[in-house]
Amino acid sequence: MDPASIREFARRNRTEVQESKQHYWAEQYRVHGPAGAMRTSQALWQYVRRLRPDWPTARERAEDLAYHIEVKRKIDRAAHAFAAR
């Protein structure tokens, strides 16, 4: 890769890149539904496991679980706040 290409990549408009990604994934969901998202996630899982057979480590799994428990706790709090109105 030449330095000019690297500079061009680094100078891309991040807003346009993000909007392009959102449009792409919205279209994928529209065409393929949730099953398409599951196939994509499984393909990514398999790819990472080929690169890092030890992934996720016990520590990473514990951190992920703790994060999801915290998100669930916040969702529950928000649900109760709306229900109390």
* pLDDT tens for each residue of 5-47: 999 999 999 999 999 999 999 999 999 999 999 999 999 999 9
Q: Give the residue-averaged pLDDT of 69-73.
A: 98
pLDDT recorded at residue 82: 80
Whether the predicted pLDDT of 75 surpasses 90 = yes
pLDDT recorded at residue 84: 73
d(CA 47, CA 51): 7
Residue with token string 């998100």: 71
Per domain, the residue ranges of the chain are 1-53, 55-85
d(CA 15, CA 67): 28
pLDDT recorded at residue 77: 94
pLDDT recorded at residue 61: 96
32 CB-near residues (< 8 Å, 6+ apart): 39
Separation of first and last alpha carbons in the chain = 58
Whether the predicted pLDDT of 85 surpasses 90 = no
